[in-house]
Structure 1
Amino acid sequence: MKKFFKLVGFASFIGILYYGFITYPKLDLISGFSAKSIASGHFIDHRSMEMIEKGDNDIKMIDLATNTIDENGQFATASVYGLKERKAIYREGLGATLIDADFDISAPYEVPKRTKLVSDKLFPYGNQEAKDTVFSSVDYAKLNAAVSNAFDSTDKKDKRTRSVIVIHKDRIIAEKYDTGFDKDSKILGWSMTKSITATIFGILEKQGKYDIYKPAPIVEWQKDKRKNITTNDLLHMNSGLEWEENYSTICDATKMLFQAENMGRVQLEKPSVFEPNTHWNYSSGTTNLLSYILRNQFKTHQEYLDFWYSALIDKIGMKSMVVETDMAGNFVGSSYSWATTRDWSKFGLLYLHKGNWNGEQLFDAGWAEYVAGPTKGSKGDYGAHFWLNAGGKFPDVPRDMFYCSGFQGQMVAIIPSMDLVIVRMGLKENPEFDFNGFLRGVIGSLKR
Structure 2
Amino acid sequence: MKKIFPVILVLFFLGFGVVAYIYYPRLNLITGFAAKNMCSCVYEAGRTAQSVVSQDNDFSPVNLAEYEINPEARSASSRVFGLKKRTAMYNPGLGCVLLPEDAGRDDLPEAKPRRQQPFSSLAYPYGNAEPVDTVFPEVNYQQLELALENAFFGENKTRAVVVLYKDRLLAEKYAPGFDEGTKFLGWSMTKSITSAVLGVLARQGRISLSDDVLFPEWAADERAKITLNHLLHMSSGLKWEEDYTKISDVTKMLFLADDMSEVQLHKELLGQPGSIWNYSSGTTNLLSAYIRNQFNSHQEYFDFWYAQLIDKIGMYSMTLETDMAGHYVGSSYSWANARDWAKFGLLYLNNGNWNAEQILSQEWIDYTTRPVAGSDGLYGGHFWLNAGKIYPDVPKDLFSANGFQGQHVFIIPSRDLVVVRFGLAEHPEFDLNVFLKQILEAVE
TM-score calculated relative to the size of structure 2: 0.96
CA 216–382 in structure 1, closer or farther in 2 if over 3 Å, else same:
farther
Aligned equivalent of 2:386, options 389, 397, 400: 389
Cα distance, 1:21 vs structure 2? 1.7
The aligned residue for residue 119 of structure 2 is 118
Tell whether 2:124 aligns with 1:127: no
Deviations 1:323-349 (A, max 9, x none): 000000110000000000000000000
The aligned residue for residue 49 of structure 2 is 49
Cα distance, 1:103 vs structure 2? 3.0
| Distance in 2 of aligned mates of 1:429 and 1:355 | 28
What does 1:205-220 align with in structure 2 at a 5 Å threshold? Answer: 205-220=202-217
The aligned residue for residue 266 of structure 2 is 269
| Distance in 2 of aligned mates of 1:206 and 1:103 | 40
The aligned residue for residue 164 of structure 1 is 161
The aligned residue for residue 146 of structure 2 is 145
| Distance in 1 of aligned mates of 2:258 and 2:372 | 31
The aligned residue for residue 184 of structure 2 is 187
Cα distance, 1:19 vs structure 2? 2.7
| Distance in 1 of aligned mates of 2:234 and 2:18 | 37
Conserved 8 A contact 2:214-2:226:
no
Deviations 1:67-99 (A, max 9, x none): 121111111111112100000000110000011
Deviations 1:340-391 (A, max 9, x none): 0000000000000111001110111111111111011000001110000000
Conserved 8 A contact 1:64-1:80:
yes
| Distance in 1 of aligned mates of 2:46 and 2:170 | 28
Conserved 8 A contact 1:31-1:79:
yes
Conserved 8 A contact 1:161-1:425:
yes
The aligned residue for residue 90 of structure 2 is 90
The residue matched to 1:444 in structure 2 has which SS? helix
The aligned residue for residue 350 of structure 1 is 347
| Distance in 1 of aligned mates of 2:92 and 2:213 | 32
The residue matched to 2:156 in structure 1 has which SS? coil
Conserved 8 A contact 1:410-1:425:
yes
| Distance in 1 of aligned mates of 2:99 and 2:326 | 11
Deviations 1:224-258 (A, max 9, x none): 11110001000000110000011111110000000
| Distance in 1 of aligned mates of 2:372 and 2:411 | 18
Bigger mean CA deviation after superposition, 437-446 or 97-106: 97-106
What residue ranges of structure 2 are gaps of 5+ in the alignment?
none
Q: What is the letter of the counterpart of residue 297 of structure 1?
A: Q
The aligned residue for residue 33 of structure 1 is 33
| Distance in 2 of aligned mates of 1:120 and 1:354 | 24
The aligned residue for residue 405 of structure 1 is 402
| Distance in 1 of aligned mates of 2:13 and 2:68 | 31
Deviations 1:10-59 (A, max 9, x none): 78765543332221011111111011111100011111100111121111
The aligned residue for residue 18 of structure 1 is 18
Conserved 8 A contact 1:117-1:126:
no
Conserved 8 A contact 2:123-2:129:
yes
Conserved 8 A contact 1:216-1:231:
no
Conserved 8 A contact 2:161-2:172:
yes
CA 79–8 in structure 1, closer or farther in 2 if over 3 Å, else same:
closer
Q: Percent of pairs identical after alignment?
A: 51
CA 111–223 in structure 1, closer or farther in 2 if over 3 Å, else same:
same
| Distance in 1 of aligned mates of 2:54 and 2:104 | 32
| Distance in 1 of aligned mates of 2:213 and 2:442 | 45
| Distance in 2 of aligned mates of 1:426 and 1:201 | 28
What does 1:367-386 align with in structure 2 at a 5 Å threshold? Answer: 367-386=364-383
What residue ranges of structure 1 are gaps of 5+ in the alignment?
none
The aligned residue for residue 284 of structure 1 is 281
Cα distance, 1:129 vs structure 2? 0.8
Tell whether 2:432 aligns with 1:429: no
| Distance in 1 of aligned mates of 2:271 and 2:301 | 31
TM-score calculated relative to the size of structure 1: 0.96
Conserved 8 A contact 2:69-2:75:
yes
What does 1:312-327 align with in structure 2 at a 5 Å threshold? Answer: 312-327=309-324
CA 68–14 in structure 1, closer or farther in 2 if over 3 Å, else same:
closer
Conserved 8 A contact 2:125-2:169:
no
Conserved 8 A contact 1:237-1:283:
yes
